[in-house]
Amino acid sequence: MYIANEKRYETMKYNRCGKSGLKLPAISLGLWQNFGYGSVFSNAEKMCRTAFDLGITHFDLANNYGHPFNGSAEENFGRILDNGLRAYRDELCISTKAGYEMWDGPYGDRNGSRKYLIASLDQSLKRMGLDYVDIFYHHVFDPGTPLEETALALDHIVKQGKALYVGVSNYNRSQTEEIAAIFRELHTPFVVNQPSYSMLNRWIEDDKLDKWAEENGTGISVFSPLYQGFLTDRYLNGIPADSRIGKGNTWIAKQLDEAMLAKLNKLNAVAAGRGQKLSQMAIAWILHNPAVTTVLIGASRPEQIEDNVRATEHLDFTEKEIADIERILSE
């Protein structure tokens, strides 16, 4: 039987999610890849246990994780809970999402309708063996559904007791602002937006989503912090056969050209000067943005989680380091 590390809370940093009472670890574990169908269950279980032993309390899922068998990541996470982690349920913040294509027909395609969202969460809870999730997200903005309907569905889910808080993902600033206004009228506990963000993908700065979130008391939970693995040391000397690019498992492979490799190697030199790996510096750089609550990491083995958590040991940057990073990124 699994017994959690007694010292798990001694080193992890916890940040308040916006102006809510909810705190999230600076590093959270996303179960998008390597936890669903075709994954080695024992490895997935070891990764979840390693994460919790390191103070990671937040586990992030979605209804469609586990491709090509949507929901298989949630099913496996339910098994992991049953194998000992469920005893710590009140120490966990479990989130899931709905919005992308999930089942056949007009009610399971990409949308934000009341019917889809409520039905999807019921399925997710059954797969994980839970009475409620801590955060339920609308996964992607749906222009075909009125935002009021989406907001009312999420509010209803909270009132049912099936989610404690709600969030949105892949919403830009104007979309977030519009749905947040509805949530305020409904007194819905809307606490977080989950966008992609990294050194190589800074759209939330251009869109001013991060500034809006900070000013309006909404947390930001970042996904793809390492830009599909670019911001690691895996590609500094070529493309390994077992990497995401080597397996053809990313849509940004063409961006890894000579100019990108030169940029990554320069960033790696800055990281080395800080006593960090490139991936650790990339995570620390994201957390340097005061709007960011938590960084969602992915992993294929427990050692990657241990490596990434070490980013929290050195979160401060000198003015020169920030200037050097900005110069490299602008090249």
Q: What percent of the chain has pLDDT over 90?
A: 90
- Tokens in use for 285? 């750089």
Q: How far apart are CA 220 and CA 218, in angstroms?
A: 7
Determine the residue type at 132.
Y
pLDDT on residue 245: 59
Radius of gyration of the chain, Cα coordinates, nearest whole angstrom: 19
- Tokens in use for 56? 């990671």
- Tokens in use for 149? 């309907």
φ, ψ of residue 97 in degrees (nearest 5): -140, 160
**Predicted confidence (pLDDT) per residue in 237-292, tens digit:** 766 655 555 455 565 667 888 889 999 999 999 999 999 999 999 999 999 999 99
Q: What is the pTM of this model?
A: 0.95
- Residue 257 CA from chain centroid, whole number: 27
Residue whose entry in the numeric block shows the structure tokens 């919005």: 99
**Predicted confidence (pLDDT) per residue in 186-211, tens digit:** 999 999 999 999 999 999 999 999 99
CATH number of 14-330: 3.20.20.100
Closest-CA residue to 200 (of 163, 229, 177) = 229
Strand, coil or helix: 41: helix
